[in-house]
Amino acid sequence: MSNQAVRPVFPFTAIVGQEEMKLALILNVIDPRIGGVMIMGDRGTGKSTTIRAIADLLPEIEVVKDDPFNSHYSDSELMSDNVKKSLMSQITLETAFIKVPMVDLPLGATEDRVCGTIDIEKALTEGVKSFEPGLLAKANRGILYVDEVNLLDDHLVDILLDSAASGWNTVEREGISIRHPARFVLVGSGNPEEGELRPQLLDRFGMHAEIRTVKEPELRVQIVEQRSDFDMNPAACLLKYQDKQEELKNKIRNAQEMLPKVAIDYEYRVKISQVCSELDVDGLRGDIVTNRAAKALAAYEGKSNVSEEHIQKVVTLCLRHRLRKDPLESIDSGDKVLKVFKKIFD
């Protein structure tokens, strides 16, 4: 496909404001094990534009050529069974570089469309396991975006969260089972007016970003003008932001490489758990995610040790959606989290 045929994507570095959402997306891209982002906010605040922009910005990934699961050529956690068999038989596999997959999950999607289907007839008549991959297969090693996630069937949200957490998707039918890697960054967005997700589903998203409509007239004008410039001449706009895009791409790539070397002091780990305990956060997911997010932020800033500032920047994003006990309460804006953070860390 020629470059002209590819629809241009608004550059991530040109997006004004919405710092919470941008930071949450960048950190999840650096460490997908954070567990995804739930973005809640008003309509028309650039949620889907920002998510497409981060996917477009990411460095290309190396995959096994013509593999429907975007299998990694050497990491067994990210490769399909067929690729594993080929490697065990010492067959040389061709690889190719592709853009990070960005998969949109339509609201009316069925379970078969999401998970994939097994051809039972073929299995019974020919004894062959025939599998038609679904959206989870396409999203492996990429981003899976669900707009209006709060309107999606709870059962489907459960499937998405299970795959995102385990990194695998298992399809079973009539005693036949197939599993394949499905490690992706799950990004959900929604409008709070249309209802919240159930607390037990919400808790399974790593981070929760809130976005608001920009109020300052000057900023609003800047956003509108940038969008108009892009729509009228995408090539000129992309050229204008090319250096910034490259810089951010390198920063993310360096952070991904540096992440395993980042350390967080025991004292800070204890304090994070104290914050979670004082806020009465259920389970240990809040502790784990805050630790991971703080490490990802340190790596993003090129630091090998997590500082108090790193924890402060991520703690609200990681904990605000875990506080609710009463389903009728709305999500805390983060004041409560920061108050407890300051009390324990000061």
Q: Is 227 a known active-site residue?
A: no
Q: What is the pLDDT of residue 213?
A: 78
Q: What is the mean pLDDT of the chain?
A: 86
Distances (CA, A) of 319 to 44, 145, 243, 259, 276: 26, 21, 35, 22, 8
Residue 266 has pLDDT above 90, yes or no: yes
CA 333 to chain centre: 21
CA 110 to chain centre: 21
Cα separation, 185 vs 141, in Å, equals 8
Cross-strand bridge partners of residue 185: 143
Q: What is the pLDDT of residue 3?
A: 43
Mean pLDDT over 111-126 rounds to: 80
Reduced to 3 states, what is the DSSP secondary structure of residue 21? Answer: helix
Residue 305 has pLDDT above 90, yes or no: yes
Q: What is the pLDDT of residue 15?
A: 86
Greatest mean pLDDT range, 18-27, 107-116, 158-167: 18-27
Instruction: Tell me the pLDDT band of 123, cut-offs 50, 70 and 90.
Output: low
pLDDT tens for residues 239-261? Answer: 999 999 999 999 999 999 999 99
- CA-nearest of 237, 239, 309, 311 to 272 is 311
Q: What is the pLDDT of residue 1?
A: 38
**Out of 52, 183, 285, 320, which one is annotated catalytic?**
285
pLDDT tens for residues 71-82? Answer: 888 888 888 888
Cα separation, 327 vs 18, in Å, equals 27
Q: What is the pLDDT of residue 72?
A: 87
Tell me which amino acid residue 213 is.
Answer: T
Q: What is the pLDDT of residue 331?
A: 60
Burial (CB count within 10 angstroms: exposed 0-12, middle 13-18, buried 19+), residue 217: exposed
Burial (CB count within 10 angstroms: exposed 0-12, middle 13-18, buried 19+), residue 75: exposed
pLDDT tens for residues 1-46? Answer: 334 446 788 899 888 878 889 999 999 999 988 989 999 887 777 7
Q: What is the pLDDT of residue 4?
A: 43
Domains of the chain, first to last: 3-58+99-211 (3.40.50.300), 259-345 (1.10.8.80)
pLDDT tens for residues 184-203? Answer: 989 988 887 777 777 777 88
Mean pLDDT over 321-339 rounds to: 71
Q: What value does the CA radius of gyration of the chain take, rounded to a whole number of Å? A: 21
Q: Pick the residue with more confidence: 3 or 263?
A: 263
Cα separation, 256 vs 122, in Å, equals 42
- Phi/psi for 29 (5° steps) reads -75, -35
- Phi/psi for 334 (5° steps) reads 115, -10
Cα separation, 288 vs 33, in Å, equals 10
Q: Pick the residue with more confidence: 1 or 301?
A: 301
Residues of the chain above pLDDT 70, percent = 94
Cα separation, 145 vs 105, in Å, equals 6
* Side-chain-side CA neighbours of residue 47 (13 Å): 24
